[in-house]
Amino acid sequence: MSDESELDVELEARLEQQDVFEPPESFLEQANVTDESIYEEFEENWPGAWERAAQLLDWEQRWDRVLDDSDEPFYEWFVDGKLNAAQNCVDRHLEDRGDQPAIEWIGELGETRTYTYDELHRKVNEFAAGLRAQGIEEDDVVAMYMPMVPELPIAMLACARIGAPHAVVFAGFSADALAERMNASNSRHLVTVDGYYRRGDALDHLSKARDGLELVDEEATTIVVDRLGDDAESALADEELDYDTLIDEHAGATVEPVTRDAEDMLFLMYTSGTTGKPKGVKHTTGGYLSYAAWTSHAVLDIEPDDTYWCSADIGWITGHSYIVYGPLALGTTTVMYEGTPDYPEKDRLWEIVDEYDVTQLYTAPTAIRAFMKWGEEYPDRHDLSSLRLLGTVGEPINPRAWKWYYKHIGNESCPIVDTWWQTETGGMMITTLPGISHMKPGSAGPPLPGVSADVVDTAGDPVEAGDAGHLIVNKPWPGMLRTLYRNDERFIGEYWDEYSIPDRDRWVYFPEDGAKIDGDGYITVLGRVDDVLNVSGHRLGTMEIESAIVGVEGVAEAAVVGGDHEMKGEAVYGYVITEEGQDETDAFREEIVAAVEDAIGPIARPEQVIFTPELPKTRSGKIMRRLLEDIANEDELGNTSTLRNPNVVHDIQSKVQGD
């Protein structure tokens, strides 16, 4: 073995054993937040310390009070403050950075578009004038059913400019889902596209939008962006408005930003509910934008000179907060990518990082596990030295994937922020501050300064270090949802009333996640409470078991669910994707079982380990565990229409029954 090979082996062994990582000195020298006393400052001067978030924005009228908690849980932030979100994200940057790119867009087919802040300002004004011409006024809700095209953030900011809340519907959702959200939000205006590209193929989106509009209670105005050109399947109908024509009709127009109260609604975002009906999460202008800007500044370390990339879809809250509002409020360059990470080649993301000198990359553990499976040869083809910080979002990341990301993408010189938050929180809640905190792979970290979170048992008492319990948030925060749209009762019932603790004189917010906390106050999120298995009376987090499985050499990805069991009540079923070249043998199954027993104990021993080439995933990349439970329980399969790979469910079912 050569000296270089021996060194590589030693590095791998060191990484495997290491469980605490310090931020690199090179990062600390330039980080936005480096003073450890910030935690103490927020504790001693709460809620007043949150003014530092609001001060990142321009206000037409300063707030009178930071927080009004007189009608909890209907908290109000930056009371009587007035501002406009579009002005903060665009206009105020023109003097200093008008010719700086605001949005760098890369299309599926390799096309690129750059919008400077001057150009973004012009487009936002022209579309705002076009919306006004259609009779859209302040407080009218505008639905948007669009993929990752630059016209989406333009439309969002145009709505914010005229004070019309937007309700973005993920382009992968069905026509029924669009109609349900438009009806729930009472929206009579839709901005959509003729189609978009996926893996080189043109997808007809307009037909789906039209099908949805057929189910909307009242007639809606429809504006259509031309994405496909000659590849579009059908021409616009007479009643449909062409986006480009509307822009041309208002070329050069300027629209004065509408003054909005801090508590005026900025947008609605619909998220899944336990009752099946989507919940319209209401976010307001002052608190949300302050929180998105502050977390972008403190956690993602964004500066105006950066080229920052969040690889999420704007159809989800991550895209709202960390592609559009947070980065643009800080005047940086934000990257948008239309396509998938493995088209046309598996090095597509790294090619973009290299070409655009991306400084921060914020992506999902699902993607990182795919990168691991494909192999380090793909990032090794490109110069990734421009990266200064890495982040993960959407689900907990297991330690093995964290270390792969740290080594092969960050070259052991980029801190990783593993962030926990939700649609409802508006922004990050639990994570390390990269210029202050050490990192523990697999653990999100401590609550952010000013965020009071704890892990409690069913009686509401804090658990001992190392024990599992329910994650709760004890105090309000500026980015929080204000209510569920037109349903205050459900807002209280789903988030507050159900987990209020009788002997406390205040509400607590219950995000429905299980977690554990260590002696340093670092919180490891174990997954949704309904993703916690009860095996013979023992609560086992699916994330914990999945981490043990993925820690086995040769495993690329895993999903764990509970299946009915006569003796145990619930048994563990593991669905496993192996890495290329790994034999799917009984001996390898036993190796996986042994790894789970070693990591958690015999109580977590999987009843079955099922090898599968794919896992059923939604179009946003979430594993549909419900369907895996149906297979484990030999139940009738539920709806598979929201999956991007519906055939895999039947393949897994046949395999399990065959075994």
240-264 pLDDT, tens per residue?
Answer: 999 999 999 999 999 999 999 999 9
Lowest-confidence pick of 187-201, 208-222, 371-385, 620-634: 620-634
Under the phi-then-psi rule, with left for phi > 0, alpha for psi from -120 to 50, and beta for the rest, what region is 94? alpha
pTM of the model: 0.85
SS3 204: strand
The 10s digit of each residue's pLDDT in 339-397 is 999 999 999 999 999 999 999 999 998 889 889 989 999 999 999 999 999 999 988 88
Q: How far is residue 517's CA from residue 524's CA, in Å, rounded to a whole number? A: 6
Residues 426 and 543 in one domain: no
17 within domain boundaries:
no
Q: Is pLDDT above 70 for 458?
A: yes
Q: Are 100 and 505 in contact (CB under 8 A)?
A: no
CB under 8 A, 24+ apart: contacts of 437-441: 437/23, 438/20, 438/21, 438/22, 438/23, 439/20, 439/21, 439/22, 439/23, 439/415, 440/19, 440/20, 440/21, 440/518, 440/522, 441/19, 441/21, 441/397, 441/399, 441/402, 441/403, 441/406
Using alpha carbons, list the distances in angstroms from residue 173 to 194, 196, 248, 394: 15, 14, 30, 18
DSSP 323: I
Shared-domain flag, residues 90 and 202: yes
Percent of the chain with pLDDT over 70: 93
The strand pairing partners of 519, in sequence order, are none
Whether the bond into 47 is cis, omega within 30 of 0:
yes
CB 297 within 8 Å of CB 279: no
Domain residues for 155?
25-456
Q: Which residue has the higher pLDDT, 548 or 9?
A: 548
Q: Write the burial class of residue 567 (CB in 10 Å: 0-12 exposed, 13-18 middle, 19+ buried).
A: exposed
Question: Does residue 444 share a domain with residue 543?
Answer: no
Point out the domain boundary residue: 415, 437, 456.
Answer: 456
Q: How far apart are CA 318 and CA 307, in angstroms?
A: 17
Q: Give the pair of three-digit tokens for residue 487.
A: 């349903």
**Helix, strand, or coil (residue 343):** coil
Indicate whether 10 belongs to any domain: no
Same domain, yes or no: 552 and 438: no
CATH number of the domain enclosing 599: 3.30.300.30
User: Which of helix, strand or coil describes residue 433?
Assistant: coil
DSSP label of 407 = I
Comparing CA positions, the residue from 520, 408, 558 lying closest to residue 19 is: 520
Q: How far apart are CA 611 and CA 62, in angstroms?
A: 59
**Confidence tier at 533 by pLDDT (50, 70, 90):** confident
Is residue 132 situated within a structural domain?
Answer: yes
Tokens representing 643 are 């999956």
- Per-residue HEC secondary structure of 601-626 comes to CHHHCEEEEEECCCCCEECCCCECHH
Q: Which pLDDT value is given to residue 13?
A: 65
Main-chain dihedrals φ then ψ at residue 467, nearest 5 degrees: -90, 155
The continuous run of DSSP H or E covering 85 comes out as helix 85-89
Domain boundary among 456, 480, 495: 456
Residue 398 CA to residue 403 CA, distance in Å, equals 9
Cα→Cα distances 549→315, 374, 590, Å = 31, 18, 11
Q: Do residues 215 and 325 both lie within one domain? A: yes
Record the tokens describing residue 279, joined without a space: 């919940």
In a domain, 540, yes or no: yes
Domain presence at residue 444: yes
pLDDT digits (tens, 9 = 90+) for 142-156: 999 999 999 999 999
227: in domain: yes
Residue 164 and residue 42 share a domain: yes
CB pairs under 8 A, 24+ apart, for 535-540? 535/562, 535/565, 535/568, 535/569, 535/570, 535/571, 535/572, 535/603, 535/604, 536/567, 536/568, 536/569, 536/603, 537/569, 538/603, 539/468, 539/514, 540/572, 540/600, 540/603, 540/604
pLDDT in tens, 33-47: 999 999 999 999 999
Confidence band for 18, pLDDT divided at 50, 70 and 90: confident
Cis ω before 344 (30° cut-off from 0): yes
**Do 446 and 552 fall into the same domain?**
no
Q: Which of 40-54, 324-338, 644-658 has the lowest mean pLDDT?
A: 644-658
Residue 333, pLDDT above cutoff 50: yes
Separation between Cα atoms, residue 293 and residue 325, nearest integer Å = 7
- Count of domains for the chain: 2
Instruction: Give the β-pairing of 279-284 and 483-484.
Output: antiparallel
What does the pLDDT average to over 610-619? 84
**pLDDT at residue 502, as a whole number:** 53
State whether 106 and 206 are in the same domain. Answer: yes
425 and 566 fall within a common domain: no
CATH for 382: 3.40.50.12780
CB 81 within 8 A of CB 63: yes
Q: How far apart are CA 142 and CA 457, in angstroms?
A: 42
Residue ending a domain, choose from 432, 456, 480: 456
Among positive and negative, which fits the CA dihedral 433, 437, 443, 445? negative
- What are the phi and psi torsion angles at 470 (to 5°)? -100, 135
Owner of token pair 């419900």: 626
- pLDDT of 275 strictly over 50: no
Single-letter amino acid code for the residue at 265: M
Q: CA 356: distance to chain centroid?
A: 23
Residue 135 lies in a domain: yes
Residue 203 DSSP label = E
Residue 465 lies in a domain: no
Contact 266, 282 (CB under 8 A): no
Look at residue 504 and tell me whether its pLDDT is greater than 60.
no
